[in-house]
Amino acid sequence: MDRLSNLTPAKGSTKNKKRVGRGEGSGHGGQSTRGMNGQLSRSGAKQRAWFEGGQMPLQRRVPKYGFTSPFKIHFQVINVDQLQALAEKLGSSVELFDAKVFYKNGLISSGVKPYKILGNGALKSKINVEAAAFSKSAKEKIEAAGGTTNVVTT
């Protein structure tokens, strides 16, 4: 009958701990699996994870290139066809399409980044749009449909 005192792990599921430095008869005597002399054979030896043994490290071998301007403005983008879809969805209930309307309808995320209207698509509805910037084609399409564009600084 099986009892708790008779339970053992399944065969092959456990390994014996490697006992190093316990004499030559153990097979791990002598240098205790650390190799011969050198920094890593000593106790307390540590090296940074990216240390390459004194070789010129990768981040210094690879040249620096490019430049990121701190003054570049990253716009959120809304196309004219998205404006048309929004105008059809909302109908004449909205007089001015501004950041609040766009945010409420999921066209832009929070008001941290400014948004720009681009001219991809067609516009049939007469709408008044307020944005940080307009492309030339978007401005032409909005005004051709009878709407107005208003540039707002953020």
Task: Write the DSSP string, the chain.
Answer: ---GGG--PPTTS-------SS-GGGT--TTTTS-SSSGGGSTT----TT--TTSPPHHHHSPP-----TT----EEEEHHHHHHHHHHHGGG-SEE-HHHHHHTTSS-STTS-EEEE--S---S--EEEESEE-HHHHHHHHHTT-EEEE---
pLDDT of residue 1: 60
Higher pLDDT, 134 or 94: 134
Give this prediction's pTM. 0.58
pLDDT of residue 154: 62
pLDDT digits 0-9 by tens, 113-133: 899 999 999 999 999 999 999
Q: CB of 70 within 8 A of CB of 108?
A: no
- Quick one: average pLDDT of 133-152? 95
pLDDT above 70 as % of the chain: 98
pLDDT of residue 67: 95
* Domain extent listing, the chain: 76-151
pLDDT digits 0-9 by tens, 34-84: 999 988 899 999 999 999 989 999 999 999 999 999 999 999 999 999 999
Tally Cβ neighbours within 10 Å of residue 83.
24
pLDDT of residue 92: 81
pLDDT above 90 as % of the chain: 84
CB crowding 125-145: b at 16 or more within 10 Å, else e: bebebbbbbbbeebbebbeeb
pLDDT of residue 112: 76
User: Which CATH code is given to the segment(s) 76-151?
Assistant: 3.100.10.10
Q: How many residues does the chain have?
A: 154
Q: Which of 8-17, 79-88, 92-101, 140-149 has the lowest mean pLDDT?
A: 92-101
- In sequence order, the β-bridge partners of residue 134 are 117
